[in-house]
Structure 1
Amino acid sequence: MTKEIWLNLPVRDVEVSQAFFSAIGFTLKPEQSAPGERACFLVGKTVVMLFAESIFKHVNGGLPMNDTQSTAQMLISFDAESRAEIDELAHKVKQSGGHVFSEPAENQGWMYGFAFADPDGHRWNGLYMDFSKLNT
């Protein structure tokens, strides 16, 4: 039935967001991107569409967008291959204009991760999960 999941997010400046997500290692899909309108990225098996705010407002039926500086609607989580990848990604986020609000750390004895906000304030959570330690 479902082939892909697409996350659609509003952004103030498509080029700034495209540069940020490219710099941290997300895979740009140029064939589905359009300068000033949208940038499309593949994150694992999930498609993330970044729409200019004016276009997003039209696409979502005209509802107002939440203020990402004072509210959080969701936390987008993704997995990593290793603890080193989490550390490297946290460094790239800081260098590329994102805000790490939870530094890389171990959680519950089997997860290692960090959380950040992209330039538009959308919240992301990168995790390395060592399932061999899950029930120990």
Structure 2
Amino acid sequence: MTKDIWLNLPVKDIQKTTDFFERIGFTLNNHAPKSDAMASFKIGQRDFIINFFSEEVFSSFTPFKIADLNDKTECLISIDAESATEVDEILAKAEAAGADIYAKGGEKDGWMYGGGFTDLDGHKWNVLFMDFSKFKQ
């Protein structure tokens, strides 16, 4: 069976990406190399790894073109927050760091609170707090 899973994303500028994600509270992964071509972060209590690679390096991993994310998305990366307040805090930090907020924090279906932002390279992020005790079966 597999040992781990991580996400690799292409970015235009490693330093700007590093600054952005440090400002919203992600932890730099000190077990991975940091260079002009790569930055790695640990996210969440389980230390999910997201590696950001320069577009040039990322392109060497696959024969496929990097998607133009200006008005599209390749996936929705979700962050599980501990409260509605934390959702709003993360969105505020992301906006202050230069993100576009595409959905302000708000309640949905009586048990979920969330919002979303687009990072500096167009990747879409969803921040959610889910109170399953209020989920209607």
The TM-score, its normalising length taken from structure 1, stands at: 0.94
Secondary structure in structure 2 of the residue aligned to 1:32:
coil
Q: What aligned pairs does 1:52-71 form with structure 2 within 5 A after superposition?
A: 52-59=54-61, 61-71=62-72
Give the match for residue 18 of structure 1: 18
Q: Which runs of 5+ in 2 are unaligned?
A: none
Q: What aligned pairs does 1:1-136 form with structure 2 within 5 A after superposition?
A: 1-44=1-44, 45=46, 46-59=48-61, 61-135=62-136
Secondary structure in structure 1 of the residue aligned to 2:60:
helix
Q: How far apart, CA to CA, are the structure 1 residues paired with 2:133 and 2:99? A: 32
* Contact in 2 for aligned 1:11/1:50 (Cα 8 Å): yes
Per-residue CA deviations over 1:69-126 (Å, capped at 9, x if unaligned) read 0221110112011111111111101100111100000011111011110100100001
Secondary structure in structure 2 of the residue aligned to 1:115:
strand
Q: How far apart, CA to CA, are the structure 2 residues paired with 1:17 and 1:66? A: 18
* Contact in 2 for aligned 1:115/1:123 (Cα 8 Å): yes
* Contact in 2 for aligned 1:4/1:47 (Cα 8 Å): no
* Contact in 2 for aligned 1:20/1:96 (Cα 8 Å): yes
Q: Alignment identity in percent?
A: 41
Q: Which runs of 5+ in 1 are unaligned?
A: none
Which runs of structure 1 show a deviation greater than 6 angstroms over 4 or more consecutive aligned residues?
none
Deviation at 1:33, TM superposition (A): 3.2
Q: How far apart, CA to CA, are the structure 1 residues paired with 2:90 and 2:33? A: 23
Q: How far apart, CA to CA, are the structure 2 residues paired with 1:2 and 1:100? A: 35
